[in-house]
Structure 1
Amino acid sequence: MWGGRAAPHPFGGANVDPVPVLIVGAGPVGMVAALELARQGVPSVLVDKEFETSSHPKLDYVNSRSMEFFRQLGIDDEVRSAGVAPEHEADVIWSTGLAGEPITSWKLPSVSQQWRRITETNDGTQPGQPGQRISQVELEPVLRARCRREPLIELRCGLRFDSLAQDDDAVTSHLVDVMTGEEVRLRSRYVIGCDGASSQVRLAVGIGEESFDVPGLPGAFMVHFKSRDLDTLHRHGKFWHYFAFRYIIIAQDEVDTWTVHVNGMEPTEFDTPPADPEAFLLETMQTDLKIDKVLLTSRWRPGFMIAERYREGRVLLAGDSAHRMFPTGAYGMNTGIGDAVDAAWKIAALVKGFGGVGLLDSYEAERYPVGLRNVHTSHRHLGVHLRAGELLRGGASPETVAAFLEAERGENEYRGVELGYRYNGSPIVCHEDAAEPPYSPAEYTPTTWPGGRPPSLLLEDGKAIYELFAPSFTLVDFAGDGRADALLEAAAAQGLPVSHQVVTDADARRIWERDLVLLRPDHHVAWRGNEAPRDPAAVVQHVRGVVR
């Protein structure tokens, strides 16, 4: 019986009939994959070797694109309630340290200010949702609670993935009960590996990786703590991030929870961690900060990685198992959320019978370029930190460093990276021969270019156009005169579920560029045109991954 509870496994040592999908790793990416499968009506088993959600503040920001996905999953309000309150701005302060002087600041808006901008700038350039400041410590319980309430998700904690074997019909995964050591063999039609940077799933299917370290940043030591000493912490003003080169402070909740990352000066500096983290922190910051409680410490090694492939047979990789990035830009988990949604809707289409095998090939074709680009963009942002530090150590004036930082402030503002990625190499998108609209990492270009995310708008009645999108495919029809019928009939004949939405809004039609726009479950444009396609059946076959 399917259920969202985290219960002991019922499988024993014997093989069982295949479940549709096994998801390995119940972090944010794995849980979103399970929730998206459930939204598509497909059951999954979600396993994790741990029993509790993470106590490690690995992330502190859910970007606008991920919040759009959370909206379609119906968890956006819960995430915002658990995160930083909407009135708090997200300023970034650059400084020589709390004992030194400020250099410059990047003024970034609050959620409330972003909502006003979305309402007042209704030209398609804005996201459908503001981003949300929230620690992973607070995000995971929200996702975990929703998974437990979802009857199509079987959450199994305390099961460690060990190995797998594939055949023509399914995957047999070998799991181990961490409490008893008992082996559990689970058959599934597909496996999604969301088990982190040291992914055992990736190793099990023999997928290698390309990785590189950061010579200018050989190691780091993290201290997560409680403090209400705002006089000291806000000496240079309120902040979200406080960059002081030797260390970084992150305001996790605008109340009393903070994280400091101290950057190593030598590769071996943190081989032996500080015996007294509080004393080490105060010495490093050269302040009399009153720390109420140290919650957690850890050593970590900055680096970048991307898997050589995202798929092997019926096994797909998502999140940190496929790519690892430095925190600059907050691209790591947010890229993983995009992976999860992409993998889930395609596997759901295969399980439900209307998807073709080309959907599996399209996963890597679409998500690998996004992962690679985001790895390099994160590295670019890190380079700004390293270069600014070099300038300061080389004797450059604070004004010179400030000018450099103002010219290179894309780290938290690259809207094109968040919203503007396009699946130009996808085998399931109906591409066009015309000149592609311009792409900029800094700005989102509103377009319905095939493979891209369409513009978000508020319609004349005040409703967001994204609220019209169905869990399945959606045909947005600005004509409403019957020209969509041929495509809808072809979809029905092939069993492809398509919601038909007629929109009578002249401004929306102008920004959306075509009378007919076919969207996939992940919002991306599959096909567009001003008339029905010449061969509607061929278009439907193409977008559902049927190889002819």
Structure 2
Amino acid sequence: MHDVIIAGAGPVGLFLAGELALSGCSVLVLERDQDPRPPLKALPLGLRGLNAGSVETFYRRGLLEAMAKASGVPLERIGASSDAVDAPDPRELSHFAGMTLNAADIDTTALSYRLPSPAMEGFMTSLEAVTEVLAEHACGLGVEIVRGAPVTAVRPDDDGVAVTAGGQHYRSRRLVGCDGGRSAVRRLADFEFTGTEPQFTGYVAQVTFADPDQLPLGFHLTDTGMYLRTPLEGHLGMMDFDGGTFDRSKPLTREHLQTVLRRITGTDVTLDEVHLASSFTDRAMQTTTYRQGRVLLAGDAAHIHSPLGGQGLNLGIGDAVNLGWKLAATVHGTAPKGLLDSYTSERHPIGAAILDWSRAQVATMKPGPNAPALRTLVHDLMRTTDGTTQVYRRTSGLFHQYDLGSRHPLIGRNAPDFRYKDGTRLGDLLHQGQGVLLDFTADQGLKGAAHAWQGRIQYAAGPVHSRLGLAAALVRPDGVVAWTGDDRDTFEQAAAQWFAAPLN
């Protein structure tokens, strides 16, 4: 019996597999597709954006260099210099409803608790690059991946979960569905899935244009929809506000794509050839819980929405890093009461907010007699300093805050990358997926208390380049600050809340 079976060898499933294996769990990944490199994951259709929060997550597991290399991105392009004292101003910013914003308009004084880090910026990558890096990482930790094994039956009981996939029978203590928006695990385990129906059919395609000069690069909103051309050769995206009726209803022929493109653009542009194409909608749905007994969901299996703003991959990575250490502790019997339940209570509101962010963009882009007035209003608001800063807060992945029962503005938030005088950074200390007690005053009482959680909490003491007014901080394995202060008793309470009773 495996400790955990994961359905789905996409980025979320593979990242979660690595987290569990890092904590000593035996993990089996069951993947529906036989081909590990399907064409839809490669460029251009597999183009995706990693936000700064996801990039920092890869950095904290020692995967940033490999991810940047696989994505063709120089490390110096995404990080602060090693001798930087202050966090650099953001250089890039996502769009809202196709409206690009200027990162120079961000009010950095409103972005508290930031420090320089090797991971400060997001970057573009592909699903192929992400899955290859994560598969190599997971397999190197002992994860087993079985391909060509679609899940067809799920039977939880008091002792575990029986899973049938690819005609074979497997058993594990827990099952996690990371098998995408049409999740078999979600359906077979009878999770409630609620939300809103689509407004459009979206298309992404690799094509050959007879007359590409008719369509300039970038996002273009029109009276009938939206189209996008990127610098990647032949890369085309479209949104047709048909209520989502076409998606997966008929073959994606050249004639159909050309008809839609001409209607949206108002041109007579001609497609000579369609090499690859896929459709999607803005259907926005979320399960009411991310856990039912021994079965859990993460990524698109738990929530789906339109790809506007590139939040889907990042939301799934956030699910995986939040769930991994909690599930591992549960498997090993070291989890405090309620730890696994905190996965839903923390991540479900984040997912709901992303769905609403997606819905707001669709409402702004939807054609109609009042659409130009709405888009002008939103555009004007987005161009203000406050508006630009808010978009950065919502899309960078660095400023989510979980409600951990404290009024301190840093508790529940992503930890700054504190750097000790010897050059060691918090990101280095998180490579093994353990909690970290950062003691900036080398208090002997805190050192003695931390020793009781040895093996689950690392202790790091000494002066740092900037401690942001803190005496000490407890950082969870997912990089979230769980406690700050200088009192041994309150530290022990926080440690017990997240890491159970001390070992000695």
TM-score by shorter chain over 0.5: yes
Corresponding residue SS for 1:491 = coil
Corresponding residue SS for 1:414 = helix
Task: Show the 5 A alignment for 1:404-415.
Answer: 406=383, 413-415=392-394
Query: How many angstroms apart in 2 are the aligned matches of 1:38 and 1:158?
Result: 22
Task: Show the 5 A alignment for 1:455-470.
Answer: 455-457=416-418, 464-469=425-430, 470=432
Any stretches of 5+ residues in structure 1 without a counterpart?
1-17, 96-102, 178-182, 438-446
- CA shift, 1:49, in A, is 1.1
- CA shift, 1:190, in A, is 1.1
Partner residue, 2:197: 213
Residue of 448, 466, 475 corresponding to 1:508:
466
Pair 1:490–1:338, CA change in 2 (3 A)? same
Query: How many angstroms apart in 2 are the aligned matches of 1:122 and 1:339?
Result: 24
Native 8 Å contact 1:194 1:320 kept in 2: yes
Task: Show the 5 A alignment for 1:434-445.
Answer: 435-437=407-409
Residue of 433, 438, 459 corresponding to 1:476:
438
TM-score (normalised: structure 2): 0.81
**Greater relative CO (CA pairs within 8 A, separation 6+):** 2
Native 8 Å contact 1:384 1:405 kept in 2: no
- CA shift, 1:415, in A, is 4.7
Task: Show the 5 A alignment for 1:320-359.
Answer: 320-359=300-339
Partner residue, 1:77: 65
Residue of 283, 286, 301 corresponding to 1:303:
283
Residue of 25, 46, 51 corresponding to 1:42:
25
Partner residue, 2:180: 196
- The percentage of aligned residue pairs carrying the same residue is 25
- CA shift, 1:126, in A, is 6.9
Native 8 Å contact 2:51 2:396 kept in 1: no
- CA shift, 1:197, in A, is 1.8
- CA shift, 1:210, in A, is 1.3
Structure 2 residue 105 is the aligned partner of structure 1 residue 143: no
Native 8 Å contact 1:48 1:158 kept in 2: yes
Residue of 144, 151, 161 corresponding to 1:161:
151
Partner residue, 2:239: 262
- CA shift, 1:31, in A, is 0.9
Aligned residues: 472
Query: How many angstroms apart in 2 are the aligned matches of 1:490 and 1:243?
Result: 59
Corresponding residue SS for 1:42 = coil
Partner residue, 2:83: none
Pair 1:27–1:262, CA change in 2 (3 A)? same
- CA shift, 1:164, in A, is 1.9
Partner residue, 1:531: 487
Pair 1:265–1:369, CA change in 2 (3 A)? closer
- CA shift, 1:544, in A, is 2.0
Partner residue, 2:457: 498
TM-score (normalised: structure 1): 0.75
Task: Map Cα deviations across residues 52-106 of structure 1 (whole Å, 9 max, x no partner).
Answer: 24433366211111111112333322322333646798688999xxxxxxx9753
Corresponding residue SS for 2:433 = coil
User: How much is the aligned-residue C-alpha RMSD, in angstroms?
Assistant: 3.8
Native 8 Å contact 1:22 1:191 kept in 2: yes
Query: How many angstroms apart in 2 are the aligned matches of 1:405 and 1:382?
Result: 16
Task: Show the 5 A alignment for 1:230-309.
Answer: 233=215, 235=216, 239=218, 241-244=219-222, 246-251=225-230, 254-265=231-242, 268=245, 271-272=249-250, 273-276=252-255, 279-280=258-259, 283-284=262-263, 285-286=265-266, 294-309=274-289
Aligned residue identity for 2:436: T
- CA shift, 1:48, in A, is 0.9
Query: How many angstroms apart in 2 are the aligned matches of 1:191 and 1:70?
Result: 24
- CA shift, 1:378, in A, is 2.3
Query: How many angstroms apart in 2 are the aligned matches of 1:482 and 1:185?
Result: 53
Native 8 Å contact 1:227 1:256 kept in 2: no
Query: How many angstroms apart in 1 are the aligned matches of 2:157 and 2:93?
Result: 52
Aligned residue identity for 1:508: S
Aligned residue identity for 2:123: Q
Native 8 Å contact 2:244 2:281 kept in 1: no
Native 8 Å contact 1:359 1:545 kept in 2: no
- CA shift, 1:410, in A, is 7.0
Query: How many angstroms apart in 2 are the aligned matches of 1:71 and 1:49?
Result: 29
Pair 1:276–1:398, CA change in 2 (3 A)? same
Native 8 Å contact 2:176 2:295 kept in 1: yes
